[in-house]
Amino acid sequence: MQLALHDRLLNLDRPQIMGIVNVTPDSFSDGGEHATADSAVAHALKLLYEGATILDIGGESTRPGASCVSEAEELSRVLPVVKALAKLPEKPVISVDTSRPQIMRECVKAGAHLINDVRALTFPGALSAALELNVPVILMHMQGTPATMQERPSYTSVVDEVEAFLKARSAALTERGFKEENILWDVGFGFGKSVTDNYALLKALRRFTQGPHPYVGALSRKSMLGAVTGIEKPSERVISSVTGAILCAERGAKILRVHDVKATAEALCVLNAMESAPC
């Protein structure tokens, strides 16, 4: 499987690592650590060295309870980073983590290759922007908003409802001519889900990875891991994060969105060696 970017093809025959670059003061795991353009670019270079193929640049915290930042503030955070990374000789694949159409346009113009939208193009104008830009899009499921999503998440059947949502949002694109293989899925671990909901989705993940949409495994450092390990500090959930990433990869995920790139890359080496071994 290959993902068509505007200047290359990204091989997804084996899982690729997407390194997280939060240019925010209040992200749940590393808020404030890379809140300036210079520190974010330096962190991105470190992630590339450790084994990331894709860099996901975000300027709005979507942790539980987070409030929206202004469009101008979000753009001022992410655009300088995207521009700097686009000029690197390493030529990383750049993802912009945003829901706002104007930020999508500005970042793709500056060199971003794909859009990662936790709101699945439901913001006014976002769907039209995605169609106009015609770059791959990650659609994620979220119940509620970041400010409210963890207050009382409720489902009759979480797996069925998340799958139906992602299919509907994908159809909204494909019915207008967008290529199905350029739509990636993310079930949205931790975004309006209970701990039980999250693990039900992880257990059923093959339902989301067996179709035409490349799947993005994104549970790095999340509270669902702390809930079963007892580790309260997100930055200390490295072992459980890597375990979750490998479980996603075994179940068919093509991209692993992680904070701990080096540890995940080492674990993937073992998984890839096993899968390449003769029977």
* Catalytic (active-site) positions: 222, 257
Tokens for 188?
Answer: 């949205």
Closest CA to 128 of 104, 153, 92, 95: 104
Residue listed under structure tokens 């750049």: 94
129: helix, strand or coil: helix
Tokens for 105?
Answer: 């346009």
96: helix, strand or coil: strand
Tokens for 12?
Answer: 């997804």
Tokens for 259?
Answer: 């904070």
What angle do the packed helices 37-50 and 261-276 form, to 10 degrees?
A: 20
Q: Could you give the CA distance from residue 147 to residue 144 in angstroms, rounded to a whole number?
A: 8
Phi/psi at 140 (5° precision): -115, 150
Query: What's the Rg (C-alpha) of the chain?
Result: 17
Residue listed under structure tokens 């113009």: 109
Tell me how far the alpha carbon of residue 201 is from its chain's centroid.
16
- Three-class SS string for 202-263? HHCCHHHHCCCCCEEECCCCCHHHHHHHCCCCHHHCHHHHHHHHHHHHHCCCCEEEECCHHH
